[in-house]
A and B are shown apart, each in its own frame.
Chain A
């Protein structure tokens, strides 16, 4: 490994550096990611390009390997932490430069359910994919979700439940949205250990997401579809 220890990030070409960033994200190396982000900024990259072409692209690989059972929660947490380091530098610059937004998500565990590891992972991976995430925490009532939707105007509502006894509450939230004619304003994604696609369909969600990686892919797909619809309409 001694030779590889000698890699000087600043000496790499843009292409090599981006490749290296993907590996560093994969290995959860926060300091290296921060350094690389700063190098690319100095070289005149736009914050949005750094976000999408390096960080999000790198986290996509992490997401795929998580989905495929190659990486597990500890590695994903480290990668997300490295990503966060890069995002911390980019975030104010993205706002300043008026970069396009990936989308916004309100997420929370449903009423009666106090489990949050899965939900936290989704929130982290969504942030890793460039989404803005508003985390409502655990034990959310219908009112809590609706208030947040009103206030934050997100593209996506994400609900999580880890207990078989709390899963049906997701339907209560969705039914309330339907009753208030707000259901079509949001993409509704559900997840949690005991759930499955059949359940997601049965309660009227747009999709069930098996894990955090699938949640990110599904969110991207639906946001894209929504934008296309808006463009067409």
Chain B
């Protein structure tokens, strides 16, 4: 099925996605702890500015301000009854900016994690997760989002629930996970394992990849992991603008526009086709990334050494995709002693 996202992707070698939502909104005066999604109704000018800044900086695709727009997250602000309204509003504002841009810009309806741990370890059942994501997806669809954009997921179960919800809503979707723990997601998923899981889904995403995580270097190591796992789907790279640093009561990300420009070009050389930023990525970063992608020639796939040379070291020595990385260490502990668990 053809849609705006696949059409644009078919015309271009790479697409520039957007940068940070939270970091930008906090700069516009969002108080920490407040739900950004409420601004889709209460401070529409600011959300329009957020979207416009990304588009004017050269983004081909931007995410709606709906990351925490599921019932479980909104409940913390007693706004769980406004899921449809807030998501629809967030997408409508996006539609308005995209349609006025004078070029083809994709409105990607952001869907973040529920924040709950899924059964059997946690309380969130598969059915409930699907229902929550579906509710949000319908809101984004009604507001005119071109594609659902599931992001910052840690648990494979949650990713699968989002896929099912997208199918129920009849929406094309993309989905990224956050690899922030020794090169894996918090729940231990490696890049290779994610690639395998994604390719087995019934309702496959149009593209998949990684966002957020630790720094730009780690994110590219993850992208290389997807490529090595023979991904058939286009790969998304949305890394943070460096690492957060604390200065005089404020936090800022240490990644400069020049670093993010290098990151963008390296991401393309690694094999990513949809390239953007995440936390700390401001319009000036996006401008530098766009310029670099347009003016610098594609190069060969970089080695891990080349990545660390350009962007800094990794947060962990390995990321679980190395030979035997997924099994060796555990097996050493449990070999010959484990009982009943396999029975």
A and B interact: yes
Closest CB-CB distance, B130 to chain A, in whole Å?
20
The chain A residue sitting closest to B253, CB to CB, is A164
Stretch from A37-45, A70-78, A149-157 that touches the partner: A70-78
Asked whether B251 lies within 8 Å of A168 as measured between CB atoms, the reply is yes
Check A113 for interface membership: any CB of B closer than 8 A. Answer: yes
In angstroms, Cα B338 to Cα A5, docked, is 8
- Say if the beta carbon of B300 comes within 8 Å of chain A: no
Interface string of B17-32 (1 = CB under 8 A from A): 0000011001000011
Does A27 sit at the interface, judged by CB under 8 A? Answer: yes
Closest chain B residue, CB of each to CB of A194: B244
Once the chains bind, are B32 and A69 in contact (CB under 8 Å)? no
Do A114 and B76 form a contact, CB below 8 Å, given A29-B340, A166-B32? yes
- Which one of B32, B184, B320, B342 has the highest number of Cβ atoms from chain A below 10 Å of its Cβ? B32
User: Number of B residues contacting the other chain (C-beta, 8 Å)?
Assistant: 46
Q: A29-B341, A165-B26 are in contact. Are A69 and B184 (CB under 8 A)?
A: yes
Which A residues are CB-close (under 8 A) to B333? 23, 26, 61, 65, 70
Say whether B329 contacts A73, CB under 8 Å. Answer: no
Which residues 157-174 of A have a CB within 8 angstroms of B? 163-169, 171
Which B residues from 63 to 111 make CB contacts under 8 A with A? 73, 76
Not counting A112-B33, A165-B251, A167-B246, a sample of 6 additional A-B residue pairs whose C-beta atoms are within 8 angstroms of each other reads: A1-B342, A73-B181, A111-B32, A164-B244, A164-B251, A168-B246
Closest to A70 in B: B329
Q: Which of A65, A81, A196 contacts B329 (CB 8 A)?
A: A65
Compute how far the CA of A75 lies from the CA of B279 in the bound complex, rounded to whole angstroms: 29
> How many whole Å from A141's CB to the nearest CB in chain B?
10
Q: Do A171 and B32 form a contact, CB below 8 Å, given A77-B117, A77-B121, A115-B115?
A: no
A-side contacts of B115, CB under 8 Å: 114-117
In chain B between 299 and 328, which residues have their CB closer than 8 angstroms to a CB of chain A? 316, 318, 320
Q: Across the interface, name the chain A residue whose C-beta is closest to B120.
A: A78
Question: From residue 78 to 117 of chain A, which have CB atoms closer than 8 A to chain B?
Answer: 78, 81, 111-117
Cβ contact within 8 Å between B181 and A72? yes
Residues B249 and A168 in contact, CB atoms below 8 Å apart: yes
B342 engages A23 (CB within 8 Å): no
Q: Which residues of A contact B (CB under 8 A)?
A: 1, 4-5, 7, 19-20, 23, 26-27, 29, 32, 61, 65, 68-75, 77-78, 81, 111-117, 138-139, 163-169, 171, 193-194, 196, 198-199, 202-203, 211
- Residue B186 at the chain A interface, CB threshold 8 Å: yes
User: Is the C-beta of B138 less than 8 angstroms from some C-beta in chain A?
Assistant: no
| In contact, B337 and A139 (Cβ under 8 angstroms) | no
Cβ contacts under 8 Å, B73 to chain A: 114
B334 lies within 8 A of A27 (CB): yes
Q: Which of A1, A69, A72, A73 contacts B316 (CB 8 A)?
A: A69
Closest A residue to B319 by beta carbon equals A69
A7, A116, A165: the one within 8 Å of B339 (CB): A7
Contact for A73 among B188, B334, B342, CB less than 8 A: B188
Instruction: Give complex CA distance A211, B76 in Å.
Output: 25
B250 CB → nearest A CB, Å: 7
CB pair A166–B33 under 8 Å, yes or no, is yes
Contact B32 A165 (CB under 8 A): yes
Contact of A114 among B33, B320, B337 (CB under 8 A): B33
* Nearest CB in chain B: distance from A180 CB, A: 20
Q: Are A117 and B117 also in contact (CB < 8 A) when A73-B188, A194-B244 are? A: yes
Contact of B343 among A1, A138, A164, A199 (CB under 8 A): A1
Residues of B within 8 A of A73 (CB): 117, 154, 181, 186-188
Q: Is the CB of B251 within 8 A of A74?
A: no
With contacts A65-B329, A114-B33, A194-B251 taken as known, whether A74 is within 8 angstroms of B337 at the C-beta atoms is: no
- Shortest distance in angstroms between A155's beta carbon and chain B's nearest beta carbon? 26
- Is there an interface contact between A74 and B187, defined as CB atoms closer than 8 Å? yes
Please give, as numbers and ranges, the residues of chain A lying within 8 Å of B33 by CB-CB distance: 111-114, 139, 166
Chain B residues with Cβ below 8 Å from A26 are: 333-334
* Contact A70 B330, beta carbon cutoff 8 Å: yes
A4 and B181 contact, CB distance less than 8 A? no
Q: Are B338 and A23 in contact, with the CB atoms below 8 A?
A: yes
Contacts of B186 in A (CB 8 A): 72-73, 117
Q: Would you give the shortest CB distance from B133 to chain A, in whole angstroms? A: 18
Complex contacts, A74 vs chain B, CB 8 Å: 121, 187-188
Q: How far does the alpha carbon of A23 sit from the alpha carbon of B121 in the complex, in Å?
A: 19
When distances are taken between beta carbons in the complex, the residues of chain A under 8 Å from B180 are 193
Q: Please, which residues of chain B bring their CB within 8 A of the CB of A29?
A: 340-341
How far, in angstroms, from A152 to B34 measured CA to CA in the complex? 29
**Are B342 and A168 in touch, CB under 8 angstroms?**
no
CA distance A139 to B54 in the complex (A): 31
| Interface membership of B229, Cβ < 8 A | no
**Given A72-B184, A72-B187, A167-B251, A23:B337 Cβ within 8 A:** yes
Q: Is the CB of B338 within 8 A of A4?
A: yes
| Interface residues as binary, B46-63 with A (CB distance below 8 Å gives 1, 0 otherwise) | 000000000000000000
Q: Give A164's nearest chain B residue, CB to CB.
A: B251
CB–CB A112/B181 < 8 A: no
State the Cβ distance, A40 to closest chain B Cβ, in Å.
18
B8 at the binding interface (Cβ < 8 Å): no
